[in-house]
Amino acid sequence: MSDIPDWFGWSVDIEAKRGCVEVSNGDIRYCFWSDAGKPGLLFVHGHSAHSRWWDFIAPHYKNGYQVAALDLSGMGDSDHRDNYSTDMFADEIIATADALKMPENTIVVAHSFGGIIALRVMVQKSSRFKGLILVDSGVKYPNDEKAESTKPWSKQKVYPSQEIAIKRFRLLPPQECDNQYLVRYIAQHSLDAIDEGFVWKFDRELISRMHRTGDT
């Protein structure tokens, strides 16, 4: 695609290092673009997403920060669980920062659903992090009306080819995106190859197995 800007190519050509930390008997995968010794910047993805959503953003900060991102359980390359909770996800963020020896002046950057989890992190362990940047996250007060329960995902669909799956990829909530190279890149890295074809890299049972905890 000729309309792909140079900055994007530069970003995704920088290969991140990868690691894993065990949290409550589940393997949590993370990636990082720079080593310890700088202020920390930890990126947290949204619902049903993964760390690769930050591939074209995080590298731009690697010279000034120790930059990392993680896959929350049930998403990306991290393990699936029988049950999920905001406290569990918060533990995964903290454990990732600890595994990478990120300093106490680390800033968490969280998108959408990840912002809800990151708020829980700040409640649990405010002294561990310097600050929080929320990106398109909905924040509710404790006395706000509770939203209706989200319907569980439909049964996992298997696509015969990667290209067919990429064409079926949609942003949620539905929205236009002028930069289709971004959408394609995210879709391409949101797939797992199995014997029968290709499937999306998230637990279809995550919503039905999710339990909210605390005030966030």
For 180, the token pair is: 């289709």
213 pLDDT tier (thresholds 50, 70, 90): low
Asked if the model's pLDDT at residue 147 lies above 60, the reply is: no
pLDDT, mean of residues 106-134 = 96
Of 100, 210, 197, give the one whose Cα is nearest residue 149. 210
**β-bridge partners, 68:** 32, 42
Are the C-beta atoms of 36 and 77 separated by less than 8 Å?
no
User: What is the C-alpha to C-alpha distance for residues 53 and 47, in angstroms, rounded to an integer?
Assistant: 11
Domains observed in the chain: 6-140+150-211 (3.40.50.1820)
Of 8, 70, 65, 11, give the one whose Cα is nearest residue 34. 65
pLDDT, mean of residues 50-55 = 98
For 60, the token pair is: 């731009």
The pLDDT of residue 3: 85
The pLDDT of residue 214: 58
139 pLDDT tier (thresholds 50, 70, 90): confident
67 pLDDT tier (thresholds 50, 70, 90): very high
Continuous segment of H or E residues that includes residue 94: helix 86-99
The pLDDT of residue 152: 60
- Return mean pLDDT, the chain: 92
pLDDT tens for 163-185 read: 999 999 999 888 889 999 999 99
pTM, full prediction: 0.91
Are the C-beta atoms of 203 and 162 separated by less than 8 Å?
no
User: What is the C-alpha to C-alpha distance for residues 158 and 175, in angstroms, rounded to an integer?
Assistant: 24
* Residue 89 burial class via C-beta count within 10 angstroms: exposed 0-12, middle 13-18, buried 19 and up: buried
The pLDDT of residue 2: 58
- Collapsing DSSP to helix, strand or coil, 95 comes out as helix
